[in-house]
């Protein structure tokens, strides 16, 4: 009798946890699939309509679960490019002039997008499109969560013959999140054609 009571409690606990998990997952839905088009920074990174078109296709292929994106532009000045790898502190804004080469990357877990365009010999524009992430009681990305101190640890760039634009083979970005301190994202290559 005692064994059956213990087994029943374990089953009831499992069913309750499953129900609670299902409730949390479905409670985040129901919002319109809207994209936050506000971009901080003062210069666009796309110098031709085809780059913008490819970027829009990528956003459509990797939609955010929340339906909202936090989009930011940065300029990256590097003192020297190590082969095909760049790194440095990302300053809000953008470098003027036409971009000579574009590189696209994706974080498949969060569906975040990174675009790096070369603006000069050692100057790059970096565009981050991070999916807004809301917890049960607070925003982690988006909403009132403030992001700052962006650093590109590294980005390995590759011009590809199989894709219409170059790929970000691997990249890692760190930033400070006002909600819980140090945060970051990793990106890998993507081909959307």
Residues 81 and 22 in one domain: no
Mean of the per-residue pLDDT values of the chain: 76
Q: Please tell me whether residues 150 and 58 are part of one structural domain.
A: yes
> Looking at the structure, do residues 16 and 43 belong to the same domain, yes or no?
no
Q: How confident is residue 5, by pLDDT bands cut at 50, 70 and 90?
A: low
Once rounded to an integer, what is the mean pLDDT over residues 10-24?
42
Task: Tell me how far apart the alpha carbons of residues 65 and 138 are, in angstroms, rounded to a whole number.
Answer: 16
The DSSP secondary structure of 138-179, one letter per residue, reads SEEESTT--EEEEEEEEEEEE--SSSSSEEEEEEEEEEEETT
* Tally of domains in the chain: 2
Say what the pLDDT of residue 96 is.
78
Q: Are residues 7 and 55 in the same domain?
A: no
* Residues 22 and 48 placed together within one structural domain of the fold: no
For range 142-148, the mean pLDDT: 86
**pTM of the prediction?**
0.73
Q: Are residues 40 and 107 in the same domain?
A: yes
Q: What is the pLDDT of residues 62-90, one digit of tens each?
A: 999 888 888 999 999 887 667 789 999 99
At 161 the pLDDT is 67
* Residue position matching structure tokens 């970096």: 126
Give the pairing of strands 133-134 and 85-92. Answer: unpaired
Domain that holds residue 14: 1-30
Highest mean pLDDT among 1-10, 146-155, 183-192: 146-155
Quick one: 8 and 73 in the same domain?
no
Task: Tell me, yes or no, whether 106 and 52 share the same domain.
Answer: yes
DSSP codes joined into one string, 35-68: ----EESSS-S--SHHHHHHHHHHHHHS--SSS-
Q: 134 and 84 share a domain? A: yes
Confidence of residue 43 (pLDDT cuts 50, 70, 90): very low
The partner residues of 117 in beta bridges, in order of sequence, read: 102, 125
12, 102: one domain: no
């Amino acid at each position: 009798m005692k064994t059956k009571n213990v087994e029943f409690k374990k089953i009831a606990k499992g069913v309750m946890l499953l129900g609670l998990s299902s409730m949390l997952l479905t409670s985040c839905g129901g919002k319109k699939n809207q994209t936050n088009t506000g971009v901080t920074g003062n210069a666009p990174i796309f110098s031709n309509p085809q780059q913008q078109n490819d970027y829009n296709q990528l956003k459509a292929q990797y939609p955010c679960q929340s339906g909202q994106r936090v989009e930011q532009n940065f300029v990256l000045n590097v003192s020297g490019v190590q082969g095909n790898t760049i790194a440095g502190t990302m300053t809000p804004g953008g470098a003027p002039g036409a971009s000579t080469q574009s590189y696209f990357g994706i974080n498949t877990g969060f569906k975040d997008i990174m675009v790096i365009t070369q603006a000069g010999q050692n100057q790059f524009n970096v565009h981050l499109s991070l999916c807004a992430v809301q917890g049960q009681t607070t925003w982690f990305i988006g909403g009132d969560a403030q992001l700052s101190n962006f650093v590109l640890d590294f980005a390995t760039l590759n011009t590809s013959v199989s894709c219409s634009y170059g790929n970000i083979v691997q990249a890692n970005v760190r930033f400070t999140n006002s909600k819980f301190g140090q945060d970051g994202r990793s990106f890998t290559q993507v081909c959307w054609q």
